[in-house]
Structures are given as structure tokens and as C-alpha cells.
């Protein structure tokens, strides 16, 4: 299902934030000048195909970055940004992160009579985290730590 440990970690973070509730933010780390992808998962299309669906990504400065209207097959993004839609997910890709991109981005997904806002914090990666440890042990430990935390939260919420 996931191709990398990073995607697994992002997914677990998204699950945890959904458990905590709306308004919680997931953090994505990046470096200025490099690309970054901000995930946004929603469950409107889990059971049925929804024709009238709108999606928007806004910047930390409340500027519209991308807009998608499914039933009109309309998509428009500002220069330097792209959006990838598939049922249940709308991902914003920033081609070259600038300092103005750092901060809280909001993904808004709406269908008739219902909408959902999801926050993603884009933060600068610390210099001390520039390389993976030999053997990848720390990455695996981090992934397992998040998995254990997610399962603990699930058990506590039941």
C-alpha cells in the first residue's frame, strides 16, 4: 500500500490527527529550494463516488494555491504548485519551497452540505537531520514508535 517508510509515517500522523479532531495539524519537514508534498486524506468517497466535490489548498498567508471542482473537471494552481487528486486524497506539491511557503497550509474538501478543513504545517528541516543513520535503524525505530503511539491512541479511544 505504501512505497516508503515516510509515507507510512505521514499516514499514521494523519490517522492520529483525525483521532484528535479537526483543527489538528500534521507537520511536514522540508528545505527551502527543494520540493515538498502535503497530503490531505478525506473519507467522503470511501463508499460512493461523489460527483459534486470541491477542493482548495490555501497558503499560510490565506492565498489560494490550488482549486479543483470535480464535476466541472476544473483544476487551477498558482505557478510553482501542483495538485494530485484521487478519490480519498488530494496532495499539494510545492515544486521549490520558498520561505513564504513555511507555515500552516489548509486543505478544504467540500461536498453539498458538508465540508472538512485539514491543516498541514510546513516547517524547515533542522540541519542535524540531514542524513539517515547507517543501516537506517533510527528511521525504522521512528516508524515503529509512531505505529505504537497510533495503536495506543486507537485502544484508548475505543
- The domain ranges of the chain are 5-128+135-157
Residue 34 binned pLDDT confidence (cut-offs 50, 70, 90): very high
**Is the confidence at residue 86, as pLDDT, over 90?**
no
Whether the Cβ atoms of residue 32 and residue 97 lie closer than 8 Å to each other = yes
Residue 16 binned pLDDT confidence (cut-offs 50, 70, 90): very low
118-152: pLDDT as tens digits: 999 999 987 655 555 555 444 444 454 454 455 44
Q: Compare 94 and 70 and report the one with higher pLDDT.
A: 94
**Rounded (10°) angle between helices 5-20 and 137-157:** 30
Q: Are strands 114-124 and 54-58 parallel, antiparallel or unpaired?
A: unpaired
CATH 1.20.120.1200 fits 5-128+135-157, yes or no: no
Q: What is residue 72's DSSP assignment? A: G
What pTM was estimated for this model as a whole? 0.63
pLDDT at site 8: 56
35-83: pLDDT as tens digits: 999 999 887 776 677 778 899 999 999 999 999 988 888 899 999 999 9
DSSP string for residues in 109-137: EEETTEEEEEEEEEEEPPGGGSSPPGGGH
**Is the confidence at residue 5, as pLDDT, over 80?**
no
Amino acid at each position: 500500500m505504501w512505497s516508503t517508510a515516510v509515507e507510512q509515517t505521514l499516514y499514521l500522523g494523519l490517522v492520529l490527527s483525525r483521532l484528535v479532531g479537526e483543527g489538528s495539524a500534521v507537520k511536514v519537514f522540508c528545505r527551502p529550494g527543494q520540493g515538498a508534498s502535503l497530503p490531505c486524506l478525506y473519507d467522503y468517497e470511501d463508499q460512493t463516488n461523489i460527483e459534486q466535490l470541491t477542493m482548495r489548498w490555501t497558503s499560510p498567508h490565506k492565498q489560494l494555491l490550488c482549486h479543483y471542482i470535480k464535476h466541472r473537471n476544473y483544476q487551477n494552481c498558482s505557478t510553482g504548485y501542483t495538485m494530485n487528486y484521487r478519490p480519498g486524497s488530494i496532495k499539494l506539491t510545492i515544486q521549490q519551497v520558498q520561505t513564504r511557503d513555511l507555515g500552516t497550509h489548509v486543505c478544504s474538501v467540500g461536498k453539498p452540505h458538508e465540508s472538512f478543513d485539514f491543516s498541514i504545517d510546513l516547517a524547515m528541516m533542522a540541519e542535524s537531520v540531514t542524513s539517515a543513520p547507517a543501516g537506517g535503524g533510527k528511521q525504522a525505530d521512528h516508524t515503529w514508535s509512531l505505529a505504537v503511539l497510533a495503536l495506543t491512541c486507537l485502544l484508548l479511544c475505543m
